[in-house]
Chains A and B, each alone.
Chain A
Amino acid sequence: MNGSAGNKFGFTVNRSRLIDYDASDRLVRDYVTLREPSFRLCFACGGCTATCTAGQHAPFNLRRMNTFIRRGEIEPLREEVTRCMLCGKCLLVCPRGVNTRNVVSLAAEAIKKLDRNEL
């Protein structure tokens, strides 16, 4: 069945929700980790997300963003990295000493480079 038949029934074709680890690559992760090695230390506690002011008003979740970077899932990051105000509150709470603010900046930078085929 193709998309047009589906549309008659009010369906739209969704992108697969599956993270296919072998179909994506880790260029952004490697770019970030090389420049900010503390990124390796995130153990996904969510402390940064809880304290983040931007995240309380917009869909921005630093903890989950870290996971997407690690898995090579770039699409969900595109919007998110623009939401960070770089205030650095998250830095104060991280129990693993991740330089969270720098991770966001580097991820934003890496995505730009990726789009220009510079990564």
Chain B
Amino acid sequence: MSTVTKHVVVAGGGVAGMEAAGALAELGHRVTLIEKEQKPGGHLKQWHALFPDRRPADDVRKYLSRRIDNRNIKLFTGISVEKVRKQGHDLHIELSDGSALTADAAIIATGFDLFDARRKEEYGYGIYDNVITSAGLEDMFNAGRITTADGRTPSRIGLVHCVGSRDEKVDNNHCSKVCCVTAVKQAIEVRQKLPSCEVFCFYMDMRMYGPYYEELYRESQEVHNVNYIRGKVSEASVNINNRLVVKVEDTLAGRPLRMELDMLVLMVGMEMSQAGTRLAEASALGRGINRFLETGDHHYGNNLGHVKGLFYAGTCTAPMNITDTISHARAAVTETVRYLTTR
């Protein structure tokens, strides 16, 4: 196997990008890691604890920081990759500051954006103070205070699944995969932090696809007394007591239901990121009907695009959890190294 040092550009310094950069550097390659925000870490920066074991998100943040602490990696922040094109054997990579790089290969790891909950107007995000998103609830966990906008301790909180996912009305037919288990995790955390607060999850299906997710769902009922109502919330409003009122069909009872709440948490889904979209459009990269990057083969080529030397890692290809993102990034590195050593 060739031991010649190659130069690989990694676009995006979230979980996938950091893992890919670290793995490549470990193998002796020179890596330029480009992150659009001021700090690497992606969405994980905002998260307090992780499903299914509710370990501190900081554990994984620290792991990733150690991962990119390698002299083979050059990290640039506040800059994004805008365009990639083939130039002979190399890739020509244009950056947002007008500069360009030449690389032997590149990995796109531009991640996802959280769905903008204001687009589901009927839930009142951005209109009613006590309608927040799952990310907003993590902010409260980080701050160590779960309160309504006027500083009260909530006595009843509702969590709405599938906000911006599985919904033709916002042009997202895909399932974001992680929000169901995030809801279960957050419901448990609320119950632990505020034992007298009732918690209701409004769901269409409980998609507990990962290891220990179903067990967590069971624990949420058995130990933490979290309530589940099967039905899609149709709207939220505010009554004269300034409490939120939600309308839903309790589909298991076959009857409409209304309920007052102090706080409504919208489990926002994943969408192809705007930065990734710009890059894909400028570079003419194929995308699926879900607008994520289209991969070479859904079963055995999901780190490959159609440009030779260009690989994909993480949630720029589809929603996935942290575990799968890290595995996907490692697989992208394997594909990259194979390309570099055999071309």
Contact = CB atoms under 8 A, between A and B. Distances in A.
Interface of A: 17-22, 37, 40-41, 43-44, 63-64, 67-68, 70-71, 73, 96
Contacts of A67: 250, 252-253
B222 A21 contact: no
A44 B230 contact: yes
B257 A64 contact: no
A40 B225 contact: yes
Contacts of B250: 19, 67, 71
Contact of B258 (A21, A41, A70): A21
B253 A73 contact: yes
B230 A19 contact: no
Given A40-B221, A41-B221, A44-B230, A20 B258 contact: yes
Interface string B212-241: 000001100110010110100000000000
Interface string B241-263: 00000000010111111111000
A21 B259 contact: yes
A41 B225 CA distance: 9
Nearest to B227: A70
B253 A21 contact: no
Contacts of B255: 17-19, 73
B256 A18 contact: yes
Given A40-B222, A40-B225, A43-B228, A19 B257 contact: yes
Given A22-B259, A70-B227, A41 B222 contact: yes
Contact of B253 (A37, A40, A41, A64): A64
Contacts of B225: 40
A70 B217 CA distance: 18
Contacts of A17: 255-256
Nearest to B224: A40
A21 B202 CA distance: 14
A81 to B, nearest CB: 16
Contacts of A70: 227
A95 to B, nearest CB: 10
Given A20-B257, A41-B221, A67-B252, 20 more contacts: A17-B256, A18-B256, A18-B257, A18-B258, A19-B253, A19-B255, A21-B258, A22-B260, A37-B222, A40-B225, A43-B221, A44-B252, A63-B252, A64-B252, A68-B253, A70-B227, A71-B250, A71-B253, A73-B255, A96-B218
User: Ordered nearest first, which 5 A-B pairs have the shortest CB separation?
Assistant: A21-B259, A19-B257, A67-B252, A67-B253, A44-B252
Given A40-B222, A40-B225, A41-B221, A21 B257 contact: yes
B257 A71 contact: yes
A44 B228 CA distance: 10
Nearest to A21: B259
